[in-house]
Amino acid sequence: MHIVTDSAADLTAQDIQTWGIKVVPLNIQFPQGEVSSSDISADDFYDRLRAMAPAVPTTSQPSPAAFMEWYEASHASGEELLSIHISSGLSGTLNAAKVAAGQIPNARIRLIDTYTLSPAQRFQVLTAAMAIKAGWSSAQIIERLDKIRHASEAIFTLETLDYLARGGRIGRVQALAGSLLHIKPVIHVDTNDGKYSTVGRARTMGQALKTITGHLTSVYGDKPVWTTVIHGQLADKATELDAMLRAALNVGRSDMVRISPVLGVHTGPGVVGVGVMPLELIADL
């Protein structure tokens, strides 16, 4: 059994190498042409983003053809494939995967909507990889991923809502827009429908990090958790958030990753957040 995911999962190079995961990149549309999100570093991307302000690039989902290479290879080998993707409430990537899978009759492809993105999507992908190594069936894995979906959090704050607003991805966060673009929103992904929803707001980044920590403390209490802190170009704030979480939560496993440039289109460089999941959901792996 193999895994295909997309670049919104924010897998590290080590994740990909260790588990043999195939990543289909989303694309960034600059005025000069399209760039695969896998072909540009985070810092190079943010340099280009600042250079073209106030304009912003756009993003596009992979084409069905981008999935076909891996789907056809899996079908030819007779092995099952789990295709695990960014929330359908935030991207059309899963639809492109469905189109590709539909072109291969009798293919053993299991399409999975994570209803989330970034670190929480990564949790599902890595759990699936661990479960495959442990010899689980696809049905067992899908059942576990559904539990992780409902028990995990992907929550973040932004220095400005400007990028979300200009990119048209503001959704239910729109109540904070307009004259409040200077407010630091605290946003999470609602795993019931996989869309952004506002948790709170703050006037400073420090207050926003406290709001994130408080929200997660109310959700997880003393339960042992895995935390993955994310950021664009705010390493100092990411380190600060990591320390706050370690002090407030029962952190049994932690790491820190840069978010994919394709997500940075909608957040700008001033994003910091975290994904959290209960460790009990991988205790048997």
Determine the Cα–Cα distance for residues 6 and 10; give it in Å rounded to an integer: 8
In the chain, how many domains are there? 2
Q: What percent of the chain stands above pLDDT 90?
A: 84
Same domain for 171 and 144, yes or no, is no
Domain boundary among 150, 179, 204: 150
Determine the Cα–Cα distance for residues 211 and 157; give it in Å rounded to an integer: 9
Give me the mean pLDDT over the 243-259 stretch: 97
Q: Residue 110 is part of which domain span?
A: 2-150
pLDDT(144) > 60 = yes
What is the per-residue pLDDT for 167?
Answer: 58
Model pTM? 0.94
Check which CATH number belongs to the domain holding 10 and give it: 3.40.50.10170
pLDDT(31) > 80 = yes
Same domain for 77 and 140, yes or no, is yes
Same domain for 6 and 139, yes or no, is yes
pLDDT-derived band at 175, boundaries 50, 70, 90: very low
Same domain for 138 and 179, yes or no, is no
Rounded to the nearest 10 degrees, the angle between the axes of helix 205-220 and helix 235-248 is 30
Whether residue 54 has a cis bond before it, omega within 30° of 0: yes
pLDDT tens-place string over residues 78-120: 999 999 999 999 999 999 999 999 999 999 999 999 999 999 9
Domain boundary among 107, 122, 150: 150
pLDDT(196) > 80 = yes
What is the per-residue pLDDT for 163?
Answer: 82
The residue behind tokens 């496993």 is 253
